Amino acid sequence: MKNLAETKAIWSSADAVSFDVDSTVIQDEGIDELAKFCGKGQQVTELTKQAMQGNMTFQQSLTVRLNIIRPSLTQVKEFLHTHPLRLTPGIKTLVNTLQSQKKQVFLISGGFRCLIAPVAAQLNIPAENICANRLKFYFNGEYAGFDENEPTAKTGGKAEAIRLLKEKRNFKTLVHVGDGATDLEACPPADAFIGFGGNIVREAVQSRASWFVRDMNELIETLIPQKFETNHI
């Protein structure tokens, strides 16, 4: 793991930055909010707690939770219309700043593309810069599962997604920002990791991240050189 000074230097000079979405770019956990909307919130929350204590893989956990929720296409559309996911304060300015410095910005999530796409649109992040899971529906709109071939559908998926990004886009340096253990584990192949605790602080991440921030403004300030006034005598 890099030290603080090294992480800040890589952050300032990176070609690309990838962000986790749930509890990082947005204030909510998308799958939990969708579960609540579908009347299955408590069941999914309990299952998530059990999964954290056992040996369940991410793919197994996702499968079981989705089999409980079984969201229809209509429900997903209604959820997005009535419960827009809330952006984390400062993220829009941060993404704008990164893009103004010609840095590529990506969203890498174990959540669902259909929920993340509107978030990406608000941030002017191209749809092709989203790496997330895809829900599948039958012709009548009923839930039909999820695409198990997406890297983020599996344990270690964020690391694999970042590896593929660096390989395909020839990025020299890529920094990943996130709040969870799966984000911490994505470095390497990410060249540096920044832990984010503005929405929820996870002790394992805070204790292991060389740079842990609670406010997006901390990241913005590091990107913008300080302006000093010169006094001529």
CA 220, 126, 109, 160 dihedral sign is negative
Determine which one of 20, 28, 32, 179 is catalytic. Answer: 20
| Rounded Cα–Cα distance for residues 41 and 39 (Å) | 6
What the block records as the tokens of 36 is: 């609540």
Catalytic residue among 22, 28, 32, 191: 22
Q: Is 22 a catalytic residue?
A: yes
Cα separation of 169 and 52, whole Å? 34
For residue 32, indicate whether it is catalytic: no
Query: CA angle, corner 159, sides to 113 and 32, nearest 5?
Result: 40
Lookup: tokens for 86: 């809330």
Longest Cα separation, the chain: 78
In this structure, the dihedral spanned by the alpha carbons of residues 141, 144, 146 and 149, taken in order and rounded to 10 degrees, is: -120
The span from the CA of 119 to the CA of 25, in Å, is 8
Residue 139 phi, psi dihedral angles, 5° rounding? -60, -25
Q: What amino acid positions are annotated as catalytic residues?
A: 20, 22
